[in-house]
Amino acid sequence: MARRITGKLVIATHNPGKLAEMRELLAPHGIEAVSAGELGLGEPEETGHDFRSNAGIKAVAAAQAAKLPAFADDSGIVVDALDGAPGIFSARWAGPTKDFTAAMTRIERLLQERGATAPDRRRAHFVSALCVAWPDGHREEVEARVDGTLVWPPRGTAGFGYDPMFLPDGHTRTFGEMESIEKHGLPPLGLGLSHRARAFVKLAEICLEPR
Ligand code: ITT
């Protein structure tokens, strides 16, 4: 039986784009959310070999430091023609200045080098692994993905990270061209489209009171 989230929850991310999405997802559930930044928590080293273990590292570190339940996301974009890169290194490809134009350009250069110009050679998916950790060591974990195609040049200024390059299956606009409600809004207002929204729906089913 999964443990329910009650009271205050730390959102263990230092990424402002993710923080905004996680706050929006939690808002209808009446959870008092406080960010890692607001609490002055440090960023643990992400030494895991997959999304799930890195989400666990971040959630556990924040739960221990804040003595509160903590919610972390580890996510990234997995490009089929690049053997899964950048994957768990998606943030690192943007470098210390978090330059995602450079990171997207690097992906495009590598795709061109492999002759991956046709849409079916440009398949990719975003993954989100979510972990809630409690100070006593208990954890709940879920994971989800959204599939799509990479476009070039990037389109749109909404969202963050690799959004302008990602065209989700069944849509004509990239995540960078979508309103936040369209990218990660949940029914009845949205479709629960993004990887993070899909993972959150799974988490909400087991850990949150119904909206
Ligand atoms: P925290 O660890 O503090 O949460 P981070 O940015 O370092 O922040 P990750 O290690 O999980 O987070 O890196 C995930 C990267 O993948 C993130 O920086 C984005 O560039 C990219 N990414 C994840 N979700 C995305 C989304 O919804 N849209 C666009 N890019 C996304």
Ligand 1 atom closest to residue 14's alpha carbon, by position in its atom list: 3
Instruction: Confirm if 63 and 69 have CB atoms less than 8 A apart.
Output: yes
pLDDT tens digits, 12-24 = 999 999 999 999 9
How many of the other CB atoms lie within 10 Å of CB of 210? 7
Q: What are phi and psi of 59, to 5 degrees?
A: -70, -45
| Close Cβ partners of 102 (under 8 Å, ≥ 6 residues apart) | 94, 95
Instruction: Confirm if 41 and 62 have CB atoms less than 8 A apart.
Output: yes
pTM above 0.95, yes or no: yes
Choose the residue to mutate in 18, 19, 24, 127 for probing ligand 1, maximizing ligand atoms within 8 Å of C-beta: 18
Choose the residue to mutate in 11, 14, 15 for probing ligand 1, maximizing ligand atoms within 8 Å of C-beta: 15
pLDDT tens digits, 42-83 = 999 999 999 999 999 999 999 999 999 999 999 999 999 999
The confidence score (pLDDT) of residue 210 equals: 77
Confidence of residue 189 (pLDDT cuts 50, 70, 90): confident
| Close Cβ partners of 6 (under 8 Å, ≥ 6 residues apart) | none
Catalytic status, residue 169: no
Instruction: Give the domains, in start order, of the chain with CATH numbers.
Output: 8-207 (3.90.950.10)
Instruction: Confirm if 10 and 34 have CB atoms less than 8 A apart.
Output: yes
Given 50, 73, 74, 99, which residue is catalytic?
74
DSSP label at 47? -
Q: Which of 80, 189, 61, 179 is nearest to 127 (CA)?
A: 80
